[in-house]
Every structure is written in structure tokens, then in C-alpha cells.
Structure 1
Amino acid sequence: MQPQNPAEALVYKTLLWTWPLYGLGALYIVGPVLGWLLGGLALTALYFGPAMRRDLKPHPIPPVVWTWVIGMALMLPILWVGHVNWDFSAKTTIRSSIGWAKGWALMGLFPLAGAVLPIRREILVRGQCHVGLWVLILAPILLAAPYIGLPERIFTSPLKVVGGPGPQYFSVYFYTFDPASWTPRWQFFAPWSPFAALLGVCMVLFALEEPNNRWRAIGIAAGILMIFASKSRMGLVGLVVCTIPPRLLPLMGRTWAWFVLAGLTASLAMTADKLINAVTAAISTFKNARADSTRVRATLQRIAEERWWEEAVWFGHGRPAPGSHIVEYMPIGSHHTWFGLLFVKGVAGFLALFIPLVFQLLLGALDATASKRGRLPLGIVFVIILLSFGENIEIEAYLLWPGLMVLGIHARELATDKAPFMQQKRRSTVA
């Protein structure tokens, strides 16, 4: 598994160096730099076309990737309109524009690079398994740290001077304590534990595509460790929701599967009351597991929705607003991508993400029904959707980039498969 061109080498080596870069507190810088380098290389390859070096010959941009590029590009003028409407200073607008370049822009650049540049998904799969190997090697010291007296935080990198959402993006941790139960939880190379859990789900998804049994076992073990050590409810849900449904979709074309479904439906009709009660109890237990977190998130969402509807429907408030003690001083417009988009960028920003995400979801679901090729991209879309209901997805793109690149690679694979068919159809028409 060796890189075959400079783009693959850049991607593969970045994955191999994930943990050393985390040890320097540099991941938040590396992600945007990698995205803009690959995006710039993709645009350069498209511009030169046939004149480009042989191992970097570009592929056309598929329609779904166009929606990602256009949608994420529109986030910038939408941001400017919001700032003008709320009379923010030029300094604030410049800082927010830089934030766009390190967040929303990456969600367009990585799919673009995956679709245009000749990067194989196998490179990303093996690279993620290498990251998992680092996780397993470092796990003993990380898991033992709170019990042998090691500190929570090792240090905060001086690289924080470049600016970012907070010092946790440049800090290196052994572990952290859950403020509700005061028990240790681990975040590995992520800025906080729930995000680490979803990165663990991504690692499992990638590892399931690995043909080598040893590397597959390493990736799956590391991903499951990240999910359970983070003690995140969202990670446990993601382990089931993001891995199993993409593998069940091919059954839709099997007659026996429909008979089984009909039988299950008939049996559920007789036990509906007990099932509803069990589901209700499970949801209640899930929420009460971290009752304070659930309360704060629900309050943030309610305030964001009310203020969006009453004050800034179309282009939002331009940026998150400070929160009061009722939400533990968390910013209004945080902890939920969709309510955050409505609050910060209004209906315009909401649609700029919603349209490409739904397009990608339908594309992945249709392909997963017919081919194993669609499983990984569909699982990644499920991870993004799950993250969007508990986090602000744009500030996490710097670590989600392998999954975002897979979305572009999948679109390229679909377009490549259709190209010979369309050429044959044109030749038949001419004849």
C-alpha cells in the first residue's frame, strides 16, 4: 500500500503523523492547510487538464460535489450579510471570514479534492488503520493516567497564537473528568470526548473496508476503544446506526427479506404497546444518563430557535451570541449544527448545508443498495448527520477530512462507472 502520486503521499503521510502532530498541538492547523493545499492542487489540475503530469490527471467534478462546493462557498457571503445587518466591525468580519476558511470551506474542499484528484480510497482506509495502531499502542498509558497520578492536560501548544475556537484545540490531554459524575473519560486526539467517540465510529467504518485481516482487526479494536473510553452516548448510538443500516440496504432487493419484514410488522402490531413503552423508557434512560448536558443543550436549542425566528430569519445573527448562566454560559448557536445555522446564518445558511447533505445521502443510499462500494460513504454521511445534532460540524471538519474526502471519491467512482456506459450509448445512437 504505497502512494502512487504526490496527492496520495500527502494524504497518507498526514494520517501516519496524526498522533505526533497532536502531540505538538498542531492538528487544528494541519487540517485547514491540508484542505487548501489539496483544493488548490485540484483546481490547478482542472485548469491545466491534459497538460498536467500523468499521475495527477484530473477527473471532472461530479454534480454532488458541485453542490458541496457551491453551498460551502455561499456560506461566506451569507456570513458577510449577517455581519452587515448586525453592524459588526470590520475586524470581527475578517476574523469570522478566517473562521469560514478553517471550517465551512473545508467541507467543500475535501470532497472536491477526493473527486478531482486520483486518490484511492484504499490509501485512506489503510491510513486510518495506522491511526488506530497508534491508539492501541498509547492506550495503556492513557487509560492508566488518572489512576497513577498523571495530570489531565499535558500542555497547551504555543501554536494557539494563530487563533481558533478555544485553547482545547491546541491542548494535549491524557484524559479529562466528567463534571457530572467526576469520573475520567478520554478524548484521544480530539478536542473533547463526544467528538472522539464519533471519530471512533469513523475508524470502525474505514476498518471494515480493509482487506487485510490484521489491519482490519487493529482499526476495529481501536475504534471501539475510542467509543467506549469516551463514555459518549452519541458514540454508542453511532456504532449501531452508522455501521449496520448500510449493510442491510442490499436486502431491499431480496424477496425473502420482504417476507421477513412483513412477519415482523405483523408481530409488532400485537406487541406495539409494550414496544412503545420500552422505547420511551430507553429514551428517558438515555437522556438521564447526562441530565445536565441534556438540559443545557435543550435550552440552547430553544433560545436559538426563538431568537432566529423573531430577529433574523433569512441571514441570521452573523455569529454566536454569549449565553447566560441558564445555559452555563455556552454560546447561543453552539452544540447543534442546524439550530446553530439558523441562529448564525438563517434560512440561507441552513439550505446551503441541507441540500448537499441530502443529495449525498440519497446517492450513498442508492449505491449501498446495489453495491458494497456505497457502504463507507453512506456510513460517513450518517456520522455527519449524527454529529450535526450534537455538535457544530464546521469546527470539526479539520479532523473529519478523511470522511469528507471519501464522499468525493465515491462521487468520482460513480461518475467513472457511468462514463463508459454513456460513451457506448452515444456510439449506438450515431450508428
Structure 2
Amino acid sequence: MTPEESLIRFCLIYTWPFYFIGALYLLAPIVGWTLFIFLIARMYVQTPDRPPHRRAIIPIGVWVWIAGMLTMELALIIAHVDFSLGIPMMVKSSIGWAKGWALLAIFPAIGAGLQIRPAVIYRATCVISLHVLILMPLLFFAYVAHLPSQLYVSPLQIVGGPGPEFFSVTLYNIDATTGGPRWRFFTPWAPAAGFVANIYFIFSLQEKNKAWRWIGIIGWTLVAILSKSRLALIVLIFSWPITLVLSNMRRPAVAFSGAGAIAFAGLVGNVVMEAYSSAMETFTAARPESSRVRATLGRIAVNRWQSEAPIWGHGIVERGPHLVEYMPIGSHHSWYGLLYVKGAVGFAALAIPLIYSLICFLEKSQNSSLSRVALCIIMILIFYTFAENLEILSYLIWPSLVIVGAAIRESRKTSLQ
């Protein structure tokens, strides 16, 4: 293994120990910025005679992400100036940017510029799944035996973060709406566990070793189910099949099947729309209070964005009223959160890289298995922008960003074999 592969593998397979000491939130920024500095240094010192497939580079596709995330910081600075929030608050927010949005650019750069084989990440996520399966009986027993749901909050919280839930060690959670148990595993809340499970499930499908592949598939499927996240189950079922269809569009059989499906849908359009409406009602009714809070937070964010800070946003996150249980305005939704905090500029700064990558991988996936995985990752990220804040969970999804970077480099025909 290369040094960068060894470091990434170590950080992944020891996910649970890092979680138990409350260091998981701090790990991703430290690893990301360390490897990014290492990448810049390697680009500076490499000689012209270095083989092309081993050269440290940052492809155009990664520069799109870098430009987008730098624009986020620009919007943050201007918003702080507009609302006279002061230099200390600007510095604090910029540190938050370095631990959040910036990771969406530096990890693709790491994946594209350094010698990191996707297979190393695939196997490591299967190892994490094995650890999940080993710990799952203990997590079930804790609920059945009525043990305290939260064991402790790590002292590392003093370093600073979004909240205590990012440093707490929890055996299970009780759903405030249904009164039933939900498990969040090593994430700050249960739906985030479903988010991670979906990404790692796709990685498990790529594992070459059959035993490890099934360990990953079973483990991450159980995590998605036990998170009791509605979106997690939908994405788990549909994301990879949709990817397979999109990545085989050039094949005549798929093209003819698609044309037939469209024609059939036209004939039964009314039935399809009624079924869709019924499914959405069922989806909302499954957790009505959660759906109400999400919708209200979105309306508040859009109204205040339009009336107070349409271009650059407000610069910082604010707590909502009692009506939304004091949840941060724009939370549970990346787009509403961006509009409120960073305005239309921040909205575009995320939308453009996502759309660019989606189009890029849609084309390259017709001939590349790695780009097919990256296409699925981008689709999962897009799905979750409507339910989670990508910035705040970037410390959990960073392995997927490394794969995205590797796939971008492969599009330049310089990928690792």
C-alpha cells in the first residue's frame, strides 16, 4: 500500500474506536487537510520523468468542486460583512467551513491526485460492516434491558463542533413520534446512519471477495433498516438499479426498453400519478411530525432568504422558533440551508459541481465501472440534499468523495488499475 492508502484504511477500519473516544468528527478534517497538503507538496516536488499514471494532478472536474467550495467561503465572508457580525465570528465560521464545505473539494482532490485504489476503500467499509454486525446484539440488548441510551459525551467536545450529538456515544435512540427505538450507530442521528449505509452498501457491491461482499451487503442493509429512515430505504432499493440503467443507455436493449416504458407510462399516466400521490401521502404519514417540522423550516428559510439576504445569505445559522422545536433554520435540507446562510451564490456553488459531475459520470459510466460507482454516489448525494445538510455530514461521507475524485481522474484516462 502507498502511505495515503494505509492512512485511509486505518481511519476507516478503526471507525468505531474513533467514535467511542468522540474523535470521529475531528478525524475527517485532520486527515483531509493533511493529505491535501501532502498532495500539494508532491505536485511541487515531482519531476517531469515521473510516469503519467503516478503523477500528482488536480483534474478540471476537481477544480469545479474547488471553485464551488471557495465560493462558499466568499459568500460567508461577504455575508458577515453585510450583517456586521465581526471578525471573531468570521474566523469561527471560516473554521467551520474548513471542517465542512471545504471537505467536499479536498477529498475529491485527494482521490484524483494521490495513489489510492478504490478497492482499499471498498474492503475497509466491509470491515466496518463486520464490526457493526458484531456490535448489533449489544445495541439490541441495551434497548431491551432499558440501559441508558446515551453513555457519555466525549471531552473532545471542548475542541468545538455543531453540537454534543457529534461527540456523544449512544447505544440507541427513542423516536419522539412513535416511541419506538432507532439506532444511529456511529453517526449523530439515525437518518445520517441511513445516509452512510447507502453509500457503503454501494461500495460493498463492488468488493471482489464474495465473503466480504456479503458481510458488507448484509451489514449496511441492516443499518439502513434499523435507522428507520424513510429516505434511506427508498434510496437503498432504487439507487443502484437506476444507476445500472443510466450507465447502459447506449445498449440497444436498454434504449428500446426505455422507449417502451415511456410509451407505457403515457398510457397509464393517470394511474401512475395517483399511485405517486398515494405513496407521498404514505411517506409523510409515516412520520407526520418530522414532515411538518421539515416543511416549516423550509418555508421560514425561503421567506427570510428572499426578504433579507437574497444574494449572499445571512452568513450564520440561526435557531428557529418553538414551532419547529428550535431546530436551526434551513436544517434537514441542504438547499434551504444554503439559501438562508449563503444565498443564491451558495446555492449555485453546490448545484454547479453536482450537475457537472452528474453529466460527466453519466457519460463515462457507459464504459467505466468506477464512473458507474461515482454516478451512483452523486445521485445519492443529490437525493440527500433534500433531507440532510451535506456540509455537516461531510465528515462521514468523505470516502465517497475520494472515489468521486478517483473517477474524475479516470475520465482523463490516468486512473489507477
Provide the TM-score with structure 2 as the length reference.
0.96
Write the distance in 1 (CA, Å) between the matches of 2:354 and 2:204: 23
Given the alignment, which residue of 274, 277, 280 partners 1:280?
277
Q: What letter corresponds to residue 377 of structure 1 in structure 2?
A: A
Q: In the alignment, is residue 228 of structure 1 matched against residue 247 of structure 2?
A: no
Q: In the alignment, is residue 309 of structure 1 matched against residue 306 of structure 2?
A: yes
The structure having more radius of gyration, on CA atoms, is: 1
Q: In the alignment, is residue 158 of structure 1 matched against residue 117 of structure 2?
A: no
Q: Percent of pairs identical after alignment?
A: 42
Structure 2 match to 1:192: 189
State the Cα distance separating 1:76 from its structure 2 match: 1.5
Given the alignment, which residue of 281, 285, 293 partners 1:296?
293
Structure 2 match to 1:427: none
Write the distance in 2 (CA, Å) between the matches of 1:146 and 1:235: 22
Write the distance in 2 (CA, Å) between the matches of 1:153 and 1:103: 25
Q: In the alignment, is residue 206 of structure 1 matched against residue 203 of structure 2?
A: yes
Secondary structure of 1:172's counterpart equals strand
Secondary structure of 1:370's counterpart equals coil
Q: What letter corresponds to residue 232 of structure 2 in structure 1?
A: G
Write the distance in 2 (CA, Å) between the matches of 1:52 and 1:242: 42
Q: In the alignment, is residue 28 of structure 1 matched against residue 33 of structure 2?
A: no
Write the distance in 1 (CA, Å) between the matches of 2:88 and 2:98: 16
Q: Tell me, yes or no, if the aligned pair for 1:56 and 1:117 is still in contact at 8 Å.
A: no
Given the alignment, which residue of 101, 106, 109 partners 2:103?
106
Deviations 1:221-269 (A, max 9, x none): 1110110000000101110232111112244223233333343334333
**Kindly tell me: are residues 70 and 263 of structure 1, through their superposed partners in 2, closer, same or farther at Cα, counting changes over 3 Å?**
closer
Write the distance in 1 (CA, Å) between the matches of 2:10 and 2:356: 31
Q: Tell me, yes or no, if the aligned pair for 2:39 and 2:56 is still in contact at 8 Å.
A: no
Q: In the alignment, is residue 338 of structure 1 matched against residue 331 of structure 2?
A: no
Secondary structure of 2:413's counterpart equals helix
State the Cα distance separating 1:168 from its structure 2 match: 0.3
Q: In the alignment, is residue 93 of structure 1 matched against residue 94 of structure 2?
A: no
Q: Tell me, yes or no, if the aligned pair for 2:72 and 2:101 is still in contact at 8 Å.
A: yes
Structure 2 match to 1:350: 347
Number of residue-to-residue matches in the alignment: 416
State the Cα distance separating 1:326 from its structure 2 match: 1.4
1:236-251 alignment, distance < 5 Å: 236-251=233-248
Write the distance in 2 (CA, Å) between the matches of 1:171 and 1:51: 49
Gaps of 5+ in 2: none
Structure 1 match to 2:14: 17
State the Cα distance separating 1:60 from its structure 2 match: 2.0
Structure 1 match to 2:175: 178
Structure 2 match to 1:404: 401
Given the alignment, which residue of 264, 267, 275 partners 2:264?
267
Moved more, 251-260 or 153-162: 251-260
State the Cα distance separating 1:357 from its structure 2 match: 1.1
Q: Tell me, yes or no, if the aligned pair for 1:241 and 1:382 is still in contact at 8 Å.
A: no
Secondary structure of 2:366's counterpart equals helix
Write the distance in 1 (CA, Å) between the matches of 2:188 and 2:106: 22
**Kindly tell me: are residues 412 and 226 of structure 1, through their superposed partners in 2, closer, same or farther at Cα, counting changes over 3 Å?**
same
**Kindly tell me: are residues 37 and 323 of structure 1, through their superposed partners in 2, closer, same or farther at Cα, counting changes over 3 Å?**
same
Q: What letter corresponds to residue 69 of structure 2 in structure 1?
A: M
State the Cα distance separating 1:54 from its structure 2 match: 9.2
Deviations 1:347-380 (A, max 9, x none): 1111111111111111111122233222211111
Q: In the alignment, is residue 67 of structure 1 matched against residue 64 of structure 2?
A: yes
Deviations 1:135-182 (A, max 9, x none): 111111112211012210111100000010000000011100100001
Write the distance in 2 (CA, Å) between the matches of 1:355 and 1:240: 27
Gaps of 5+ in 1: 419-431
Q: Tell me, yes or no, if the aligned pair for 2:52 and 2:414 is still in contact at 8 Å.
A: no
Q: Deviating runs (4+, > 4 A) in structure 1?
A: 51-57
Structure 2 match to 1:422: none
1:73-88 alignment, distance < 5 Å: 73-88=70-85
Secondary structure of 1:181's counterpart equals coil
Moved more, 50-59 or 329-338: 50-59
Secondary structure of 2:319's counterpart equals coil
